[in-house]
Chains A and B, each alone.
Chain A
Amino acid sequence: MNGWMQHLIVAPIVLPMIVSALMLSFNERRRSLKRVLSLATTAALIVIAVLLLWQADGRFDMGAADPSRTYPLGNWPAPFGIVLVADRLAALMLLVTSVLGFTALFYALARWDRSGPRFHVLFLLLLAGVNGAFLTGDIFNLFVFFEVLLAASYGLILHGSGAERTKASLHYITINIATSLLFLIGVALIYAVTGTLNMADLATRIPTVPAGDLMLLEAGAAILGVAFLVKSGIWPLSFWLPRTYAAAAPPVAAIFAIMTKVGIYIVLRLSSLLFGDAAGGAAGFADEWLIWAGFATMLFGTLGILATRTLTRVAGHYVLVSSGTLLAAIGIGGQALTAALLFYLVSSTLAVGALYLIIEPVERNTDEEDIIAGIAEPVFDDEYTGAVVGEESEIGVVIPGTIAILGGGFIFCTLLLAGLPPLSGFIAKLAIIDALFNDAVISPTAWILIALIILSGLATLISLTRAGIDLLWTPAEDSPARLSVIEVAPIGVLLAACLALMIGAGPLFRYMEATAAALADRSGYIDIVRRAPSAGETVP
C-alpha cells in the first residue's frame, strides 16, 4: 500500500471542503469558473469513491484478512483520537452520494445554480458533510459532520428564495436544531455510561456495562436513535419532510434524497455494531420499535402517495415509504435481508433522485395554474435577473421531441419506483421478499412487511400513472417547452445507473452479501480500528 492510497480515505471530506473554501474567494459573477471547479470536484469524488470501493472489496491487495482501511485523524491512536473507517458499507454509500451529487450538480447548471448566490459552495459543503458522516468511526465526530451537512442544507433549502421556501425552511431548520440537541443528549448519556465515543471501543464496552447502568445506556441510545430517525423521516416525526422537499429547488431535492439515507445508514451501522447479538443485555433492544415504526411510516407514505396531487409531494412521500421499508427491514435483521435492503437502498435513492430531477421539466409543459404558485419557479434576486432565457441557448443544445424524451424518462422512473419488472426496483423488492421467505417459519411481521411493500408499490404505480396522464397526455396548444441537454443528461445518467444495477445485479449482490457479512461480524470492525496504522507505518 503506497503513500497516497493511504490518504485517499480522507479525500472525500477534504477535497470538497478545500474547493468550496477556494470558491468563496471568487466573485459571484465568475460563474463558469465555479461551475468547472465544482463539476470537476464531484467527478473526482466519483473516482475516489470507486477506488475506495475497490479497496474495501479487496481488489488491490489480495490475501489481507479484512481489506477495510482506517485513517487516524491527526495521527492519534484509535480509541483516543478520531478514526475514519472505509469499509464496504461506507464505500458503497460514498459511491451513491457521489453519483447523485454529480448528476444533481450537472442538472443545476442548466439554470438553477443562478437562482441564488453561492450554490456551488453550499453544494460541495453538503457533500463533504455527508461523506464525513459515512466515513467517521466516532459518534461525536458524527455529530460534527451532521452539523456540517445540515448547515449546508439550510443554505440549499433556501436557495432560490421565495415565501414558500422560506416558510418550509423555517420549519426544517427548527426541527433539525431541536433534533441536534437530542443527538447531543444521547451522546452525553452514552459517554456517561461507557466513557468512550469511539464506535469500535463502544462495541467492546457495551457487553460489559453493569445491569444497573443498562437502562441509562438504552435511554441514551434511544434518544440518539430518535435524532437519526427524524432525519430519515420515520412516522410520526416525518410531517416536515414532504413539504420541505417539495419546496426545495429540484437539484437540491435530488441531493436531499441521500440525506434521509444518512440517518438509515447510522441506524444500520449502530444497531449492528453496538446492539447486535453479542451486545449482552442491550442486544436488539430497539428492533421491535424499528419494525413497527417502519410499518407505520410505510403506511403513512402510501396513503400520502395516493392522497397528494402534486408530483413533488408524491416523491416526498415515496422517500418516506423507502425509509420505512429500510427501517422495518433493519429491525427484522438477518444477513440475507441486510444484503437485499442495501440493494434496495441504492436503487431507491438513485430512482428518487431521478424523479425529483424529471418532475420540473415535465411540469413545465402544463398550464401555469396547475403548478402551485411560487414553488416551481425561482425568484431571482436583482443581481441575477434576466440570465435565464438569454443564456439557455448558449450553454445547452436545445433538443426537439421533448415530450417523447420526458415521457420515456417518466415511465422509466415509474417502473423503478413502483418496483415493476425488469428494472432494479423490482429486483430490490424481490430480493427483500425472497430473504423474508428464507426463514423456516415466516413470522407475522415478515408477512406485514411483504404486504406493505406490494401495496406501496401499487400506490406508487397508481399515483404516478395518474400524474403522467395529467401532465404528458395533454393536447399541446403551444409548442412544447424547451429542454436542454444539460437537463436531460443527468436524468439519463441516473436512469442508466439503475439499468446498470439491474444488469450487474449478480456481482452487486455478491458485494452486498459480503457487506452484510462484515456488518454481522462485529469483531472484524473492532479489529481494523484497533490496529489502525499511524502515518508513516506500513499497513500490515
Chain B
Amino acid sequence: MEAVLSLAIGILTTSGLWLLFRPRTFQVVLGLSLLSYAVNLFIVAAGRMRTDAPPIIGKEAVDPALYADPVPQALVLTAIVISFATTALLLVVLLASRGLTGTDHVDGEEEDQ
C-alpha cells in the first residue's frame, strides 16, 4: 500500500512538473492540477497510512490508536476546494489571454516572433 501511494505521488508530481514547465497555457493548467492531486495525496500520507480505520471517534472513551487521524482528511478537503477554485479561475484567465493576445503561449507571444 505504501509503495503504491508513494509511486502515485511520485508519478503525479513528475508529470505535473514536466507539464508546468511547458510553454502552452493549457499544459500549465493541467500540470498544476496534477501537482495539486499529488499534494493532496501527500497530505493524506502525512497523517500516517491507515486502512480500515474510521477517522471519527465516538463519545465514549476509546483507544485513539484504533482510529485514523482526522485532521489531514479535513485539511485535504479544504485544499481540494481551494485548488479547484483557483484552477477554474486560471482557466478563465487562460481564455482571456488567448483572446487578447491571439496565442496560447504563456508569454503571450510566440518565441520565434
Q: Closest CB-CB distance, A340 to chain B, in whole Å?
A: 37
- In whole angstroms, how far apart are the Cα atoms of A150 and B89 in the complex? 12
Chain A contacts with B in 130-171, Cβ cutoff 8 A: 140, 143-144, 147, 150-151, 154, 158, 161-163, 166-167, 169-171
- In whole angstroms, how far apart are the Cα atoms of A140 and B73 in the complex? 13
Which of A162, A163, A170 gathers the greatest number of chain B CB atoms within 10 Å? Answer: A170
- In whole angstroms, how far apart are the Cα atoms of A169 and B86 in the complex? 13
A174 close to B71 (CB less than 8 A): no
- Contact-residue bracket for chain A: 20 to 34
A169 close to B93 (CB less than 8 A): yes
- In whole angstroms, how far apart are the Cα atoms of A129 and B100 in the complex? 30
Contacts of B43 in A (CB 8 A): 184, 187-188
Q: Which residue of B lies closest to A220 (CB)?
A: B46
Interface majority SS on B: helix, strand, loop or mixed?
Answer: helix
A178 close to B20 (CB less than 8 A): yes
Contacts of B36 in A (CB 8 A): 177, 181
- In whole angstroms, how far apart are the Cα atoms of A456 and B44 in the complex? 46
B106 close to A151 (CB less than 8 A): no
Contact with A along B47-89 (1 / 0, CB 8 A): 1100000000000000000000001100100110011011101
Contacts of A187 in B (CB 8 A): 43, 75
B75 close to A158 (CB less than 8 A): no
Partner of A191, one of B28, B71, B100: B71
A158 close to B42 (CB less than 8 A): no
Contact with A along B94-113 (1 / 0, CB 8 A): 10110011000011100000
Q: Which residue of A lies closest to B90 (CB)?
A: A173
- Asked if A192 CB lies within 8 Å of chain B CBs, one says yes
Q: Which residue of A lies closest to B98 (CB)?
A: A166
Q: Which residue of B lies closest to A163 (CB)?
A: B100
Partner of A171, one of B20, B72, B87, B106: B106
Q: Closest CB-CB distance, B109 to chain A, in whole Å?
A: 9
Chain B contacts with A in 20-42, Cβ cutoff 8 A: 20, 25, 28, 32, 35-36, 39, 42
- Asked if A180 CB lies within 8 Å of chain B CBs, one says yes
B86 close to A147 (CB less than 8 A): yes
Chain A contacts with B in 278-302, Cβ cutoff 8 A: none
B107 close to A185 (CB less than 8 A): no
- Asked if A427 CB lies within 8 Å of chain B CBs, one says no
- Asked if A189 CB lies within 8 Å of chain B CBs, one says yes
Contacts of B71 in A (CB 8 A): 191, 197
A167 close to B39 (CB less than 8 A): no
Q: Closest CB-CB distance, A456 to chain B, in whole Å?
A: 29
- In whole angstroms, how far apart are the Cα atoms of A167 and B97 in the complex? 6
- Contact-residue bracket for chain B: 20 to 34
- In whole angstroms, how far apart are the Cα atoms of A16 and B3 in the complex? 47
Contacts of B93 in A (CB 8 A): 154, 158, 166, 169-170, 173
B83 close to A188 (CB less than 8 A): no
Contacts of B46 in A (CB 8 A): 188-189, 191-192
Q: Closest CB-CB distance, A254 to chain B, in whole Å?
A: 22
A170 close to B87 (CB less than 8 A): no
Q: Closest CB-CB distance, B67 to chain A, in whole Å?
A: 14
A166 close to B90 (CB less than 8 A): no
Q: Closest CB-CB distance, A164 to chain B, in whole Å?
A: 9
Contacts of A169 in B (CB 8 A): 93
B32 close to A170 (CB less than 8 A): no
Q: Closest CB-CB distance, B102 to chain A, in whole Å?
A: 9
B32 close to A184 (CB less than 8 A): no
Contacts of A185 in B (CB 8 A): 39, 42
- In whole angstroms, how far apart are the Cα atoms of A539 and B85 in the complex? 40
- In whole angstroms, how far apart are the Cα atoms of A432 and B72 in the complex? 42
Q: Closest CB-CB distance, A73 to chain B, in whole Å?
A: 14
Q: Which residue of A lies closest to B99 (CB)?
A: A166
Partner of B86, one of A143, A162, A173: A173
- In whole angstroms, how far apart are the Cα atoms of A184 and B32 in the complex? 14
The 6 closest A-B pairs by CB, nearest first: A188-B46, A192-B46, A167-B108, A163-B100, A188-B43, A166-B97
A–B complex contacts, Cβ < 8 Å, 24 sampled: A140-B78, A143-B78, A147-B82, A147-B86, A151-B85, A151-B86, A151-B89, A158-B93, A161-B96, A170-B106, A173-B89, A174-B32, A177-B32, A178-B20, A178-B35, A180-B83, A181-B36, A181-B39, A184-B43, A187-B43, A188-B43, A188-B45, A191-B72, A191-B75
Known contacts A173-B90, A184-B39; 8 further A-B pairs (Cβ under 8 A): A154-B89, A158-B93, A161-B96, A167-B107, A177-B36, A177-B86, A184-B79, A188-B42
